[in-house]
Amino acid sequence: RGGGAARRGMRLTAGVRERVAAVHGGGALPERLRLYDGWAARYEQVPESGRLDEPEPLLRSPTPLTAVSPQDAAALEYRAPHLAAASLAFAFPAPPAGARLLDVACGTGLVARELHRRGFRCLHGVDGSAGMLERARSTGLYQQLWQCVLGSEPLPAPAEHYDAVTVVGALGEGQVPSAAVPELLRVTRPGGFLCLTTRSNPSNLRYKAELEAVLERLEKQGAWQKVLTQEVERWERATSEEESTRGSDYISGVVYVYRKCPVPPIEEG
């Protein structure tokens, strides 16, 4: 982690740094959606090794994901989709093929790809960006997709409809407000799972504190039970030295998995 590692870590192009900063900034919602529409064609992520068989969660560090586009030679190493899907699969009590799952802020389908590899087949998605949804539709992984801006409008689903709900990458400063978390609970069935992620970089710490206050309040109210929290130092490459974790050229992040109450009793026999 000396100077050599730092020099390798900061080979992000100016375009990548600017796009990440823009969509995580505090601009008006229509402008941020326009930025996501424009980013959709360059957003795809593939494993650095070209392989999709990462190890199990919480045991060994997964292979980083690398942001690749024809125009961008540098890597963000965005690991949240893998980490979230692995954590959810780790917590799930039964084979997930028949489980109905809603991928909120689904983007181009990175989380769906990871979930599909772990046996989830009934995937629905929502996103505020029409451009991202077009890319997600092209994957063929979703049974249904809707355009919806969580925080500004309710999710297009009835109450207690899903066995699991994921929000990966969108819970952050200038994106989905923490006050929208109860809407995720509304569409989750009792005993179902919610998998959420957020970043721990300096510019997101205020949002993270607000989010965790909401998570803790819902737990104290008996709305859900915490299943796991996974803190990750190398979440993705930092876009500036100020944002890096301990000078590592990476930012850190966290995965939360909760189970909605009441949790069904364990069947005996």
In sign, the C-alpha dihedral spanning 228, 234, 240, 243 is positive
46 closest CA partner among 69, 16, 62, 21: 69
Average pLDDT of span 66-83? 56
So where are the chain's domains? Answer: 76-191+202-220+233-260
Euclidean distance between CA atoms 171 and 145, whole angstroms: 20
Residue 63's pLDDT band (cuts 50, 70, 90): very low
Euclidean distance between CA atoms 95 and 170, whole angstroms: 27
Q: What is the pLDDT of residue 242?
A: 84
DSSP string across the chain: --HHHHHHHT---HHHHHHHHHHTS---HHHHHHHHHHHGGG--EEETTS---PPPTTTSPPPPEEE--SS--S-----HHHHHHHHHHHH--S--TT-EEEEET-TTSHHHHHHHHTT--EEEEEES-HHHHHHHHHTT--SEEEE--BTTB--SS-TT-EEEEEE-S-SSTTSS-GGGHHHHHHTEEEEEEEEEEEE-SGGGHHHHHHHHHHHHHHHHTTSEEEEEEEEEEEEEE-SSGGGSSTTSSEEEEEEEEEEESSPPPPPP-
Beta bridge partners of 82: none
Euclidean distance between CA atoms 201 and 232, whole angstroms: 11
26 closest CA partner among 206, 192, 194, 182: 206
SS3 labels along 179-226: HHHHHHHHCEEEEEEEEEEEECCHHHHHHHHHHHHHHHHHHHCCCEEE
Q: How many CA atoms lie within 13 A of 135 on its CB side?
A: 24
Q: What is the pLDDT of residue 20?
A: 52
Average pLDDT of span 169-191? 95
Query: CATH for 76-191+202-220+233-260?
Result: 3.40.50.150
pTM, two decimal places: 0.75
Mean residue pLDDT across the chain: 79
Residue 110's pLDDT band (cuts 50, 70, 90): very high
What percent of the chain lies above the pLDDT cut of 70? 71
154: tokens are 């309710």
Euclidean distance between CA atoms 62 and 59, whole angstroms: 9
Euclidean distance between CA atoms 266 and 157, whole angstroms: 28
Over residues 149-176, the pLDDT tens digits come to: 999 999 999 999 999 999 999 999 989 9
Higher per-residue pLDDT: 269 or 135: 135
In sign, the C-alpha dihedral spanning 212, 218, 222, 223 is negative
Higher per-residue pLDDT: 208 or 71: 208
104: tokens are 């909120």
Over residues 29-62, the pLDDT tens digits come to: 555 455 444 444 454 443 333 333 333 333 222 3
